[in-house]
Amino acid sequence: MTLAHRALFTWFIVLVFLILLCLRLDPRTTWNWFVTFTPLWFFDCILIIYVIIKFIRKWRNLNRLADLLLLYKWNIAGVLLTITSQVMICLTLEYPQQIPIYFTMTPLCLLLTTAIVYVGSRLGKREGWLI
Amino acid sequence: MFKLSELVRWLGLTEFEILINLCGLLVFTITLSFKIAGTFNNILPELMSDWFTIFSPLFFIDICNAYFCVIVGIRMYLDSDNKRKALHRFMWSTYFLVLIAIFKYLLCLKLSGRTGLEYSEVFSPIFVLLQLVAVRACQLPNSI
């Protein structure tokens, strides 16, 4: 898939999710929050398939498994933390007062921290990164 | 799914702006946790009850990004031969920042109960922004 296709696919998923979110937040529907997050689950499935395909394409023999895990550490961490964050948010919204908010926010904070470290490390390697 | 360089190309934000946004979001997530958990309700009752205080990290990063965009816009306009490109970049950053800021402001009003707007109306700046982002996605070259 080219960048344009991937971008339009992501755009469509976000659009559908926002429409469902608006419908759920306004008192028009009483859907389960896991149903509201359906577009994001679909996107996560695609993400997992995408990472697995990337992984398999590089994976020639078992000896390199550790190297591969190290090579794709950002991808794996990103996908796992994203899915965990979404599950925790859905659980908290569906069953309020039952899960402490700090448990809900921990995966999200970890995800954001990972993203900050990743972007920061990329930025640090570049010269003239302001423009 | 996207490399950082591809996101930069698609969204028209620099890595530095993305980094600032991520930092602001992290601080916002922490303050939101405190607000929901009611940790500082006894110590700072007035501050913690106001949604604008909770959203202040996001407004702060908007101000930082606006300052950054103005500086980059002026430098690009003066240094570059292609003034049109500099203007395009400045206009895109302005649209992006203004729409996001309006959304946050409306969301704050809605959460504070100071407005009778529905959530679909509160989200309208985001829908407008999504349209602009879709246009940018269509303009991306097919060769990448």
Contact between B50 and B112 (Cβ < 8 Å): yes
Pick the residue from chain A with its C-alpha nearest to B80. A131
pLDDT tens for each residue of A103-121: 899 999 999 999 999 999 8
**A122–B4: do the CB atoms touch at under 8 Å?**
yes
- Dihedral, CA of residue A5, residue A6, residue A8 and residue A12, to nearest 10: 130
Matching residue, tokens 């729409």: B99
In chain A, % of residues over pLDDT 90: 47
Q: Do A6 and B1 touch (CB under 8 A)?
A: yes
What type of residue is B72?
V
Q: Residues B4-56: pLDDT tens digits?
A: 888 888 888 888 899 999 999 999 999 999 888 887 777 777 777 788 889 99
Interface test with A, best of B7, B22, B41, B103 (most A CBs within 10 A): B22
CB B4 within 8 A of CB A122: yes
Cross-chain Cβ contact B142/A123 below 8 Å:
no
Of B7, B104, B144, B102, give the one whose Cα is nearest residue A11.
B7
Domain boundaries, given as residue ranges, for chain B: 4-138
Residues in chain B closer than 8 A to A14 (CB atoms): 130
Q: What is the pLDDT of residue B37?
A: 84
| Cα distance between residue A54 and residue A24, in whole Å | 36
Nearest chain B Cα distance for residue A63, angstroms: 26
Cβ neighbours for B42, distance < 8 A, ≥ 6 positions apart: none
Please give the ipTM for the structure prediction: 0.88
> What 3-state DSSP class applies to B110?
helix
* CB-based contact A101:A92 (threshold 8 Å): yes
Q: Binning pLDDT at 50, 70 and 90, where does residue A87 land?
A: very high
A26 residue type, one letter: D
CA dihedral B23, A106, A83, A88 (to 10 degrees): -130
pLDDT band at B106 (very low <50, low <70, confident <90, very high): very high
Please give the share of chain B, as a percent, with pLDDT higher than 90: 47
Mean pLDDT of A39-45: 93
